Amino acid sequence: MTPNPIQDESRKSYELPRTLAWSGGVDGTLALLDQTLLPHRVKNRVCSTAEDVWNAIRELCVRGAPAIGVAAAYGLCLGTRPFRRQSRDDFLAKTREICAYLESSRPTAVNLAWALGRVSKAAQSHPSASVGEIWDAMLAEAHELAREDMETCRRIGEVGAHLIPEDGGVLTHCNAGALATVAYGTALSLMYIAREQGRKFRVYADETRPLLQGARLTAFELSAAGIDVTVLCDGAAASLMSSGKVQLVVVGADRIASNGDTANKIGTLGLALSAKYHDIPFYVAAPRSTFDLSLPDGGAIPIEERPEAEVRGGFGVDVVAPGVRCFNPAFDVTPVELITGIVTEVVLLEPVTAKNIKQIFERGA
């Protein structure tokens, strides 16, 4: 079996707790850093069933498209583990059922389905193996996904780090960092690598209502890494851009359609519009697993609507008059015409076209 790569010490320099880690072997559990408690409490949530993982994803204990993909992969291993002594057909039927269940936890991030597909495929590609061996191969694939995610994220940073302006300001939204992935992050990986390269720059982090992932998570991880970061309300971003303090906007993505239209955390579209008006380059950073080539454009991306309570009382105080509705979409879609480029782990797509997107799936990794 592949050694568990996320027990190594690769993130030590960032002084960050791990987003997720599998502990133990066949009888192991998945520890997820409970991100709903950050920045004040650093506490793991230990999952030993698929239901545990489904709840952790749904409640945003683990979030970020790549991280929920890897978490779900481990969740599939946890969910199928009790059936290792059943017949092959029963086991594979259970695998399909648990896959569909885990996929239902959040609809927008395509990495979730992609990662579950990878683990399912590992199950099916061992026709002569025993069910126990099949399950071992599934866990090995989950470990492999975790290892790949870390490597992929680092490569995204290496491909895009040159975009980070020396002595300039970089604006980001939500958290597309180490906490959204196994390590490094997507958008924030550019910053970590630029910093390794000795570049100096300032980061502005939109707080990102309703759940404040920018204020709570991005500021936490960048400051832990010694990167200069300032938090602002989402509504202040346009004004910050007009003041000339921002030379680059870079965000993550939850799903990218085949034409380049990009779903990302609610608020991203407004940022992209402001960046366009102020002539500031606007980049998306995402692994190839974020692309959904089955969709012609962003109009086909399902957008999760989350509970009103996140807007109404996300801080323990009910701020909206009784009887007034709240609208709480978790994502929006930024049309490709507003996107300067997409940083992937293999190449920087700039400009973004359906043709060059297709090409990154044709060549080798």
Tokens linked to 136: 């071992």
**Site membership for a second copy, residue 210 (CB under 8 A):** yes
The catalytic residue among 34, 149, 206, 254 is 254
Among 148, 207, 254, 345, contact with a second copy (rule: CB under 8 A): 207
Tokens linked to 107: 């609809």
**Site membership for a second copy, residue 117 (CB under 8 A):** no
What's the distance, Cα to Cα, between the start and end of the chain in Å?
A: 23
**Site membership for a second copy, residue 318 (CB under 8 A):** yes
Count other Cβ atoms within 10 Å, centred on residue 226. Answer: 11
What is the DSSP code (8-state) at residue 302? -
**Site membership for a second copy, residue 238 (CB under 8 A):** yes
Instruction: State in angstroms the smallest separation of the CB of 267 from a second copy.
Output: 3
User: Could you confirm whether 254 is annotated as catalytic?
Assistant: yes
**Site membership for a second copy, residue 363 (CB under 8 A):** no
* Closer to a second copy by Cβ: residue 80 or 328: 328
- For 80, 83, 110, 144, 293, the CA distances from 98, given in Å and listed in that order, are 8, 12, 17, 20, 24
**Site membership for a second copy, residue 206 (CB under 8 A):** yes
- In single-letter form, the type of residue at position 322 comes to P
Give the separation between CA 192 and CA 172, rounded to whole angstroms. 14
**Site membership for a second copy, residue 279 (CB under 8 A):** no
**Site membership for a second copy, residue 15 (CB under 8 A):** no
Burial of 319 from C-beta contacts in 10 A (0-12 / 13-18 / 19+): exposed
Give the separation between CA 168 and CA 245, rounded to whole angstroms. 7
Stretch that binds a second copy, among 15-23, 139-147, 188-196, 221-229 (CB under 8 A): 221-229
**Site membership for a second copy, residue 365 (CB under 8 A):** no
**Which of the residues are catalytic?**
254
Footprint of a second copy (CB under 8 A) = 39-40, 173, 204, 206-210, 212, 215-216, 219-220, 223-224, 229-240, 242, 265-270, 273-274, 277, 311-312, 314-321, 323-329, 332-333
